[in-house]
């Protein structure tokens, strides 16, 4: 998980061209944790499908703009193409926003406990709330919290696949920001359309597991994860101890059936 230095980027861009617009997707932090316009961005947008809604029962987007003239141009486009939100979705979104602070608070307090557990169990964890994150100071210079999305590697793709499949409470899905906890393998799911060589060039580990932490009881989430991790360890032992297969009779690895959401 890499943190972008928004003030530095905005200063560099505006120095190079004062008319250039710096646009930030702030979905992962939500407005309760970070305000990109006050960090120098010109436009900040959110997939309101995620934290703002909080319940995965609508699809929406929010665009926040610093300059009225830019806002007028965006409004003109939205009005012209008719992509404004329907009344019922607007109602659901406004209702979701009322509990944003409570949800994010709980999601973050669950996330840090899960990140600490995984790190103490020997996994390499990416979460800006941990002291081990190399950009923790930069993150907290911009945001009020670490958010509730983290990832970890296991060192073995099959082990990661087994862990994801073995969870019961964590739903297998690519989204985040919902009250339910979700688990996914980006290289098999959300980032599967990116060619493998590009994923490698961008240093995206194939065994990476992403956790999007919800508001459930953290002990239940930890129990389920511990059970899934144990299933993953078993899978790894099975692979290591099984006799080698000759390349001519080796079957191509089975695609993981992760695309089915279990929400
Ligand atoms: C960071 C981020 N921004 C925007 C989007 C787009 O969201 P939507 O599905 O609401 O269009 C996604 C979707 O996963 C996302 O992860």
Please state, for a pLDDT cut of 90, what percent of the chain lies above it.
84
CA-closest candidate to residue 149, choices 104, 192, 200, 95: 104
Confidence of residue 250 (pLDDT cuts 50, 70, 90): very low
Checking if the pLDDT of 246 tops 50, the result is no
Token pair 């098999």 in the structure block, residue = 188
List of residues 6+ apart from 18 with CB closer than 8 A: none
Domain with residue 120: its CATH number is 3.90.1150.10
β partners of residue 64: 44
**Residue 80 pLDDT level (bands cut at 50, 70, 90):** very high
The CB of 26 under 6 Å from ligand 1? The reply is: no
Distances in Å between the alpha carbon of 36 and those of 25, 30, 41, 64, 84? 9, 10, 5, 9, 23
What is the distance between the alpha carbons of residues 107 and 111, in angstroms, rounded to a whole number?
6
Confidence check: pLDDT of 184 > 70: yes
Query: 241 C-alpha to center of ligand 1: Å?
Result: 41
Average pLDDT in the chain = 91
14 plus 66 within the same structural domain: yes
Q: What is the pLDDT of residue 234?
A: 86
* Complete edge-to-edge strand list for the sheet that includes strand 23-25: 23-25, 43-47, 61-65
pLDDT score at 235:
77
223 and 128 in one domain?
Answer: yes
Residue 140 to residue 18: CA distance in whole angstroms: 27
Q: Which alpha helices (H) appear in the chain, and where do they start and end?
A: 6-16, 68-81, 87-98, 100-120, 136-142, 157-166, 196-201, 218-241
Give the per-residue pLDDT at 243: 54
pLDDT digits (tens, 9 = 90+) for 194-236: 999 999 998 899 999 999 999 999 999 999 999 999 999 887 7
At residue 240, the pLDDT reads 64
In a domain, 255, yes or no: no
55 within a domain of the structure (yes/no): yes
Same domain flag for 131 and 37 = no
Which atom of ligand 1 is nearest the CA belonging to 174? Answer: 14
Look at residue 39 and tell me if it is in a domain: yes
Full domain range(s) for residue 45: 6-98
Distance in angstroms (rounded) separating the CA atoms of residues 209 and 187 = 9
Q: Are residues 52 and 140 in the same domain?
A: no
Cβ–ligand 1 contact at 27 (below 6 Å): yes
Closest residue (by CA) to atom 2 of ligand 1?
27
Whether 178 maps to a domain, the answer reads yes
pTM, to two decimals: 0.88
pLDDT for 238 equals: 73
Q: Same domain for 80 and 110?
A: no
Distance 142 CA to ligand 1 centre (A): 21
C-alpha 61 to ligand 1 mean position (Å): 9
Q: What percent of the chain has pLDDT over 70?
A: 90
47 CA → ligand 1 middle, Å = 5
* Rg of the chain on CA atoms, in Å: 21
Q: Which of ligand 1's atoms lies nearest the C-alpha of 60?
A: 10
Same domain, 17 and 113: no
Determine which of 52-56, 76-80, 219-223, 252-256 has the lowest per-residue pLDDT on average.
252-256
CA of 172 to the centre of ligand 1 (A): 17
Nearest CA owner, ligand 1 atom 12: 47
Do 90 and 141 belong together in one domain? no
């Amino acid at each position: 998980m890499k943190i972008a230095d928004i003030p530095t980027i905005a200063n560099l861009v505006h120095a190079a061209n004062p008319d250039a617009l710096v646009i930030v997707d702030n979905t992962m932090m939500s407005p309760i944790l970070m305000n990109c316009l006050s960090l120098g961005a010109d436009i900040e947008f959110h997939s309101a499908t995620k934290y703002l809604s909080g319940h995965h029962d609508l699809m929406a987007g929010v665009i926040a703009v610093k300059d009225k003239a830019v806002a007028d141009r965006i409004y003109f486009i939205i009005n012209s193409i008719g992509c404004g939100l329907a009344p019922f979705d607007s109602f659901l979104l406004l209702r979701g926003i009322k509990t944003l602070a409570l949800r994010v608070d709980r999601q973050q307090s669950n996330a840090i406990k899960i990140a600490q557990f995984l790190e103490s169990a020997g996994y390499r964890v990416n979460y800006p709330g941990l002291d081990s994150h190399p950009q923790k100071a930069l993150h907290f210079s911009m945001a009020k919290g670490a958010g509730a999305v983290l990832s970890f590697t296991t060192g073995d793709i099959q082990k990661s696949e087994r862990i994801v499949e073995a969870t019961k409470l964590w739903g297998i899905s690519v989204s985040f920001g919902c009250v339910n906890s979700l688990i996914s393998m980006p290289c098999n799911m959300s980032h599967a359309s990116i060619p493998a060589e590009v994923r490698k060039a961008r240093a995206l580990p194939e065994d990476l597991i992403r956790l999007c932490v919800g508001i459930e009881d953290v002990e239940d989430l930890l129990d389920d994860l511990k059970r899934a991790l144990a299933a993953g360890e078993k899978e790894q032992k099975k692979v290591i101890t099984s006799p080698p297969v000759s390349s001519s009779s080796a079957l191509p690895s089975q695609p993981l059936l992760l695309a089915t959401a279990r929400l």
